[in-house]
């Protein structure tokens, strides 16, 4: 299957295909143990996982400034996350809203340091070095279709952040030291 076809599969996917409206779930905060556990692989056709995908999208959408949310952040140790960087000022490439299961980075390049925040670490941000060009494969919930996403800039950073959650890592695990952690600014 060609990459163009795989990206077309992603382009035609929407949360509506999950068949669930999705419930807004509570977001757990560090040091909750689920955030440091490696998530279980997911059957993207399992109805429980399909419902979780809808819940992740619903929770992400009601959370101001949220561009991604992983299953461990809602207390479920599973390799699944929702992402949508649409409209974020640092976005160059955008694939819209999508949910991936069992995502794996297959290629990355051009490391760059930038500030990151996280709903599970609400009081701090950190300077994290990540790839600015990225190719990821994963499965779409509800269909099980495999997709390949090649992206850059902010969407690449967000993907790596969410894949880290699925592997039991927080952005705090990626900072160079205490000097790279900052109190979160609150904008009114």
Residues with a known catalytic role = 162
Instruction: Name the residue among 46, 71, 47, 44 with its Cα closest to residue 57.
Output: 71
| The CA-based dihedral angle spanning residues 47, 48, 49, 51, taken in that order and rounded to the nearest 10 degrees | 80
Write the burial class of residue 151 (CB in 10 Å: 0-12 exposed, 13-18 middle, 19+ buried): buried
CA distance 178 to 167: 22
Residue bearing tokens 């809203």: 97
Instruction: Name the residue among 83, 73, 72 with its Cα closest to residue 40.
Output: 72
């Amino acid at each position: 299957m060609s990459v163009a076809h795989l990206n077309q599969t992603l382009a035609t996917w929407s949360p509506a295909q999950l068949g669930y409206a999705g419930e807004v779930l509570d977001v757990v905060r560090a040091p909750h143990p689920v955030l440091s556990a490696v998530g279980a692989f997911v059957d993207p056709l399992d109805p429980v996982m399909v419902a979780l995908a809808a819940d992740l999208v619903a929770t992400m959408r009601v959370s101001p400034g949220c561009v991604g949310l992983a299953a461990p952040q809602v207390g479920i140790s599973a390799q699944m996350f929702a992402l949508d960087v649409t409209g974020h000022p640092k976005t160059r490439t955008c694939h819209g809203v999508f949910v991936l299961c069992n995502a794996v980075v297959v290629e990355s390049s051009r490391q760059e340091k930038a500030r990151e925040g996280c709903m599970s670490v609400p009081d701090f941000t950190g300077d994290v070095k990540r790839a600015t060009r990225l190719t990821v494969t994963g499965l779409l919930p509800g269909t099980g279709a495999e997709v390949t996403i090649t992206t850059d800039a902010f969407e690449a950073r967000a993907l790596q952040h969410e894949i880290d959650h699925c592997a039991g890592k927080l952005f705090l695990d990626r900072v160079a030291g205490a000097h790279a952690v900052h109190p979160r600014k609150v904008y009114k």
